[in-house]
Amino acid sequence: MSKTLTTHTGFCFEVRGARPEDEPALAEFFTHVTPEDLRFRFLGAVREVSHERLIAMTRSDDAHTHNFLAFAPDGMLIAVATLASDPADSRGEVAVCIRDDRKHLGVSWELLAHIARHADELGLESIESIENRENRAAIELEREMGFSVTTDPDDSTLVLVRRKQGARLPK
């Protein structure tokens, strides 16, 4: 099932669950993501997203993992996101990545809000993300959306952003 989202800038895009046949489009998408954004998304030095990771990001057979793809009106894949919940379905971890030439349109905000609503539907108590401390844009966006930010106790280069579910999302 797909859903049309509209950003504060008026940009419209379609979001739907990933499917195995999306793997080539996903591989192409990651060629348009900056090396820094790849590092932020995968929390390490990644030059190219492996076939195994692409398969994991397009599978739909895991009840605890939800992969989303966002498409521009022309069909171009512009963003990907994952929501992975713990076995008890109480906490979900989210990761979002935007194509470099589609930043600053509000896609990240709308996609994260979509994931938060989906997490509410699943009954998750909270969603969180592990961010590289240098990823200031993502951390600020998450703060604006009601996430709290704490330093990772095991790694001072990382922060944990967490949002209790059920609260209204800011506009």
d(CA 130, CA 51): 23
> Residue 22's pLDDT is what?
94
pLDDT tens for residues 48-64?
A: 777 888 888 888 777 88
Distance CA 161, CA 67 (A): 20
Q: Are strands 12-17 and 126-132 parallel, antiparallel or unpaired?
A: unpaired
Cα 144 to Cα 48, 139, 140, distances in angstroms = 31, 9, 6
pLDDT of 74 over the 90 cut:
yes
- Tell me the per-residue pLDDT of 83-128, one tens digit each, with 9 for 90 and over: 999 888 889 999 899 998 898 899 999 999 999 999 999 999 999 9
Residue 48 confidence (pLDDT): 73
Reported confidence tier of residue 5, pLDDT bands at 50, 70, 90: very high
Alpha carbon distances (Å) from 14 to 34, 52, 156: 23, 26, 37
Quick one: pLDDT at residue 64? 87
Please name each of the domains of the chain with its CATH number: 3-164 (3.40.630.30)
Locate 57 and state its tokens: 């990001």
**pLDDT tens figures, 129-167:** 988 888 898 899 899 988 999 998 888 889 999 999 766
What is the strand order of the sheet 77-85 is part of?
3-6, 12-17, 65-71, 77-85, 91-98, 126-132, 158-164, 148-151
- Please state the pTM of the whole predicted model: 0.87
